[in-house]
Structure 1
Amino acid sequence: MTGGVSLASGGRDGLSDCMVSRVLLRAAPLLGLIPAILHAETPTVGVEQMRRHIEVLASDAYEGRKPGTEGENKTLLYIAEQFQQVGLEPGAGDHGWYQPVPLTERRPHGHRTLWTAGGTPIAFNTKDVILLGASPKEVLRDAPVWFVGYGLPEQIAGADLKGAVALLLYETPKGGPDYGERAKALAKAGAAAVIGIMDDEIPWSAVTGAYAHGQTRLDTDPRALIGGVMLLGAGERLVEVGGGNVAGAADPAFKPLALDLIASFDVSTEVRSYKSHNVIGRLRGSGDTGESVLYLGHWDHLGICRPESAKDRICNGAVDNASGIAMLIEIARAIAEGARPARDILFMGTTAEEMGLLGAEYFAQNPTVSLDSLVAAINIDTVAIAGLGEPVAIVGRGMTPLDPLVDSSARELGREVDTDDEANALVQRQDGWVLTRAGVPTVMVGGSFSDMKVLGDFLGGPYHQPEDDLKRPLVLEGAAEDTELLIALGRKMADPEQYRPGR
């Protein structure tokens, strides 16, 4: 599960229980019916089967499964071998099992800035801004500066941003697109530089640390020549000197403001381009429906995440998300061993989720089957934290037509259903959000998302730390129980008699 906007790798503050939902929103990268079982019974998908996968994927030999490393190579090979063993065929088209995902990592190397108002330079601490260039050396001279509020589509419509510096609030407004989407829209509108003004929720030391570790994006994404972030106080001062007010962005009638400012930048950036991969398997259906169901979970984690002096340098990601990949493999095994459903079923391990849902984003832009043919998808992420008998929650409740199917499937297995939408605090921080946004009904389902206290204890503890490893006891009984549910749910989704989109 991503921590949001790739800042998680730069550090973590402890989360109190009451802050879980708010921090998740801001942190600003989770089948014919089987025989019903009571929720207190031992699941038929074995805990030990899942444990064996996790012990491999979260071992030190895999070095935290960071994209672009030897850990990626080992991970991809393991997942593809497991897919093949359970009876899947390659699902990435001409690329076999592996869909290449082109990525570029950028790290700040240095910058100079000059802000002027009426020809007079403005005092500005260069440490209050972090800038990255699209290429190793970018120069911008005498550019006009706009304050565009949150940079929402309705706010920037009609604004002449070509060649300009666009300052916008980094925080995602309720119900609005995340910062990455807004920054891409500004780049498409012609902005030469896009700089997000941070709020005070995330410490500046965490932001600078995250950028020092590198910011990774898809090569295919539109981006301005220069991008970056700025301290709230620095942004407020610039906007005020230029004749604006940052607080005005909250006004529903806000319109972008051309500030009485001119900016010049010299930006040096370390740039590294490389390819990572999604790994995709396919189970052919028994019918000729031309439709598919998709299960997905991210295989990546943070890699070697501590300095050489640290006792434990590896963020192994046992729960996040070796547990999800273990569940994905065992779901594939169970479905392949049973009667074939009519629709095809795809199984995908995505890359670069921790960097901002990038593998899922690339798949949505370059699907191996038509997105219109995907009738439903189930994302699997951070599943080994809840015990047996937890109520079944939906991440994405109320956002797709899948709720009745999920709820009925859970009740048929004797599971209690958590009908509130508290788990939706996670919805934009997991790969399923990308598919939902692309028009594919997608949910995360299970007991791990019902008790926010249990989830908060994990997120405020070992999450994105070296402690999420095999030394901690793995809580797999609930995950195995959820696996049974997702098998039953996916089989229903793959049966046109039981589920038709829009019906």
Structure 2
Amino acid sequence: MAHKNTFILSVLSILGLSCQERQADHSIATTLDSVALSAITESTYSQYVNQLSSDEFLGRKPFTKGDTLAVQYIEKQFKELGLSPGNGESYFQEVPMVETTSTPTEKQLIFQGKEGSLSTTYLDDFVVGSRLLQSDIQVKDSELVFVGFGIVAPEFGWNDYEGIDVKGKTVVALVSDPGKYDKTLFKADTMTYYGRWTYKYEEAARQGASGILLIHDTDAASYGWNVVRTGWSGPQLNLVDNVEKGKTTAFEGWISSETANKIFALAKLPSDIRDKAKKKGFKPVNLAVTTSIHLKNDIRKSSSNNVIAKLEGTKRPDEVIIYTAHWDHLGIGEAINGDSIYNGAIDNAAGVAALFELAKAFKATQIKPERSIVFIALTSEEEGLLGSEYYTQHPIYPLQKTVANLNMDAFSAMGATEDVSIVGIGQTEIEDYVVRSAKKFGRTVHGENNPSSGGFYRSDHFNFVKVGVPGLFMGSGKNLLSQDSILNTQRKKALEGRYHTVDDEVTADWDFQGILADIRLFFDIGYTMSLEKSFPNFKAKSEFKTIGEARLKK
């Protein structure tokens, strides 16, 4: 630990008073503000994370007591830090949602073929639910159709629904997109939005299907079946606007990879049918297999809250830089070794605590931000990025005056790294700020390790991107500064496998120095923007460049 602390101190010791230089026609903070950076401390940060991820907050699931406790705690911290309310006189933006708990009437789902049947078990083999605002959902004898990836993408010359009518049928689809398996297709191993489960649900509804079952694959999804089992069962939240007929199928769900193989065998399809679907020219296949779904829906309408605070800019207060982190997690679920509270320390008490540290740093700056800095703790990220979706559809600050969104989600507790990763690299000009700021700290920049996981579409910045606001999702790199290989191996082993489990808690295995280094980097990126007059946009090859340019012309 000593050599890492020495590194941090050596960086801070050479920091000078913040200054501004003219490059092109806008000012750039070329040195670091040592006073502001020193306001970011392990003592307060660790207190925030420990508190927010404690059992007291009951896993912070929206629509529960943990929701009320979490938003009240965040509001209290914003007030104590001297930040102004971010929504007029209030720190809250109400997000109206509907909670639907879908329960199969039978724990066995039967798939009937011409020469036999297959019985599968709820949670072990399949997970299914419905977003429709109906208490009773019945789909009888629905024919299954294998639609490959379930993608319609004219720009890539791809249509998995070509030549088939799936109205009233159940489509079965692979996760991810073709580029994961053939680097000449789509964006190679960088997943497009077409690879996200949300898109596949949306497209199935557009095609008129009665239901959709996604085939889980740990590598392609980048998470195990346990995440499907816990994340897609029990109460599910949606924005009220997203549960209308025509926007969703009657039911949506997942089947395990093993279950899919058994269904294909029941349909007497070749064992390599999945591989065939990964090649251009694949045609959808009627499986000659049917299934019936009967669900009971318990429906409850209510609201959760985004928690919003701001630090007003000195010269251009109408222009805003928005820092976000989602406060919600999974609440109370299946007990594992006697523990049923999903505390969500890394995901994402760590990000919310960073909002507080950033606020401290901006308050301490020697030259105050010229643009306003807005801090938003978002609700319902775990339910499908709902808090950020609601905000971007009902923005408090005009989108054309929103400079950028800097999003923090799931920091690494492995320790300080020489490098830093950008999720979805090549998308926005914010990356240029990352490179410039990282250089001040002696850090290098690269893309994420697993671009095929589609991380760029899986956190709250993406909803800002969809409306034309450049967003940044950034994390620690992989080149640890610590040379203690034994300790590094032990820590990695201890921290692995905590995602969406009851083990996502603060433990003695955490090394806070990497998180603090990343928060300092996030600060400098936003602080640099706050002293400028220009607006970052999207990169030339980004699919969002046109909408980004249109936003600024409004």
* Aligned residue in 1 for 2:241: 220
Matched, 1:183 2:188: no
* Aligned residue in 2 for 1:416: 443
* Aligned residue in 1 for 2:459: 430
What is the alpha-carbon root mean square deviation over aligned residues? 3.8
Deviation at 1:372, TM superposition (A): 4.0
Cα–Cα, structure 1 residues 387 and 44, in superposed 2: closer, same or farther, change >3 Å?
farther
Cα–Cα, structure 1 residues 456 and 364, in superposed 2: closer, same or farther, change >3 Å?
farther
After superposition, where does 1:295-306 map in structure 2 within 5 Å?
295-306=323-334
The one-character-per-residue Cα deviations of 1:30-54 (angstroms, maximum 9, x if unpaired) are: x97385389xxx9442221212222
CA distance in 1, matches of 2:169, 2:249: 10
Cα–Cα, structure 1 residues 163 and 442, in superposed 2: closer, same or farther, change >3 Å?
same
Compare 71-80 and 336-345 and name the one that shifted more.
336-345
Kindly provide the amino acid, as one letter, of the partner of residue 160 in structure 1.
D
CA distance in 2, matches of 1:209, 1:51: 28
Deviation at 1:76, TM superposition (A): 0.6
Question: Of 439, 444, 447, which aligns to 2:468?
Answer: 439
CA distance in 1, matches of 2:449, 2:81: 36
Deviation at 1:370, TM superposition (A): 3.8
Compare 158-167 and 273-282 and name the one that shifted more.
158-167
Matched, 1:87 2:116: no
Compare 144-153 and 158-167 and name the one that shifted more.
158-167
After superposition, where does 1:310-329 map in structure 2 within 5 Å?
310-329=337-356
Contact 1:143/1:262 (<8 A) preserved = yes
Contact 1:396/1:423 (<8 A) preserved = no
CA distance in 2, matches of 1:264, 1:299: 38
* Aligned residue in 2 for 1:68: 63
CA distance in 1, matches of 2:152, 2:460: 23
Cα–Cα, structure 1 residues 448 and 251, in superposed 2: closer, same or farther, change >3 Å?
closer
After superposition, where does 1:478-489 map in structure 2 within 5 Å?
478-489=514-525
Contact 1:296/1:380 (<8 A) preserved = yes
Contact 2:142/2:169 (<8 A) preserved = yes
CA distance in 1, matches of 2:78, 2:199: 33
Cα–Cα, structure 1 residues 80 and 327, in superposed 2: closer, same or farther, change >3 Å?
same
CA distance in 2, matches of 1:458, 1:273: 40
Kindly provide the amino acid, as one letter, of the partner of residue 182 in structure 1.
K
Deviation at 1:361, TM superposition (A): 3.1
Cα–Cα, structure 1 residues 200 and 495, in superposed 2: closer, same or farther, change >3 Å?
closer
Cα–Cα, structure 1 residues 36 and 340, in superposed 2: closer, same or farther, change >3 Å?
closer
Report the 3-state secondary structure (helix = DSSP H, G, I; strand = E; otherwise coil) of the residue aligned with 1:301: coil
Contact 1:327/1:483 (<8 A) preserved = yes
| Ranges in structure 1 where 5+ consecutive residues have no aligned partner | 1-30
Report the 3-state secondary structure (helix = DSSP H, G, I; strand = E; otherwise coil) of the residue aligned with 2:505: coil
Q: Count residues with an aligned counterpart.
A: 467
Cα–Cα, structure 1 residues 448 and 459, in superposed 2: closer, same or farther, change >3 Å?
farther
CA distance in 2, matches of 1:423, 1:149: 22
Report the 3-state secondary structure (helix = DSSP H, G, I; strand = E; otherwise coil) of the residue aligned with 1:486: helix
* Aligned residue in 2 for 1:348: 376
Report the 3-state secondary structure (helix = DSSP H, G, I; strand = E; otherwise coil) of the residue aligned with 2:445: coil
Matched, 1:267 2:295: yes
Matched, 1:124 2:118: yes
* Aligned residue in 2 for 1:16: none
Deviation at 1:448, TM superposition (A): 5.7
Matched, 1:165 2:170: yes
TM-score for both structures, normalised by structure 2: 0.72
Deviation at 1:187, TM superposition (A): 1.0
The one-character-per-residue Cα deviations of 1:13-71 (angstroms, maximum 9, x if unpaired) are: xxxxxxxxxxxxxxxxxx97385389xxx944222121222232122222222222222
CA distance in 2, matches of 1:122, 1:159: 25
Report the 3-state secondary structure (helix = DSSP H, G, I; strand = E; otherwise coil) of the residue aligned with 1:68: coil
Question: Of 94, 115, 123, which aligns to 1:99?
Answer: 94
Matched, 1:472 2:490: no
Contact 2:110/2:120 (<8 A) preserved = no
Kindly provide the amino acid, as one letter, of the partner of residue 322 in structure 1.
A
Report the 3-state secondary structure (helix = DSSP H, G, I; strand = E; otherwise coil) of the residue aligned with 2:438: helix
Report the 3-state secondary structure (helix = DSSP H, G, I; strand = E; otherwise coil) of the residue aligned with 1:51: helix
CA distance in 2, matches of 1:340, 1:333: 12
The one-character-per-residue Cα deviations of 1:193-228 (angstroms, maximum 9, x if unpaired) are: 122233476776774555544444444333211222
Deviation at 1:182, TM superposition (A): 1.2
Contact 1:132/1:268 (<8 A) preserved = no
Report the 3-state secondary structure (helix = DSSP H, G, I; strand = E; otherwise coil) of the residue aligned with 2:419: coil
Deviation at 1:502, TM superposition (A): 5.8
Contact 1:115/1:263 (<8 A) preserved = yes
CA distance in 2, matches of 1:336, 1:239: 64
The one-character-per-residue Cα deviations of 1:366-420 (angstroms, maximum 9, x if unpaired) are: 33334443322111123351434633332332222222211111212x3221335
Report the 3-state secondary structure (helix = DSSP H, G, I; strand = E; otherwise coil) of the residue aligned with 1:73: helix
Compare 343-352 and 438-447 and name the one that shifted more.
438-447
CA distance in 2, matches of 1:147, 1:179: 16
Contact 1:285/1:343 (<8 A) preserved = yes
Compare 209-218 and 329-338 and name the one that shifted more.
209-218
Contact 1:113/1:266 (<8 A) preserved = no
Compare 319-328 and 478-487 and name the one that shifted more.
478-487
Compare 218-227 and 86-95 and name the one that shifted more.
86-95
Report the 3-state secondary structure (helix = DSSP H, G, I; strand = E; otherwise coil) of the residue aligned with 1:232: helix
Matched, 1:198 2:198: no
Cα–Cα, structure 1 residues 123 and 473, in superposed 2: closer, same or farther, change >3 Å?
closer
Cα–Cα, structure 1 residues 289 and 304, in superposed 2: closer, same or farther, change >3 Å?
closer
Deviation at 1:257, TM superposition (A): 4.1
Kindly provide the amino acid, as one letter, of the partner of residue 166 in structure 1.
V
CA distance in 2, matches of 1:203, 1:299: 23
The one-character-per-residue Cα deviations of 1:129-180 (angstroms, maximum 9, x if unpaired) are: 4432333311224545433211112323675333332222234543232012
Contact 1:145/1:164 (<8 A) preserved = yes
Deviation at 1:461, TM superposition (A): 4.4
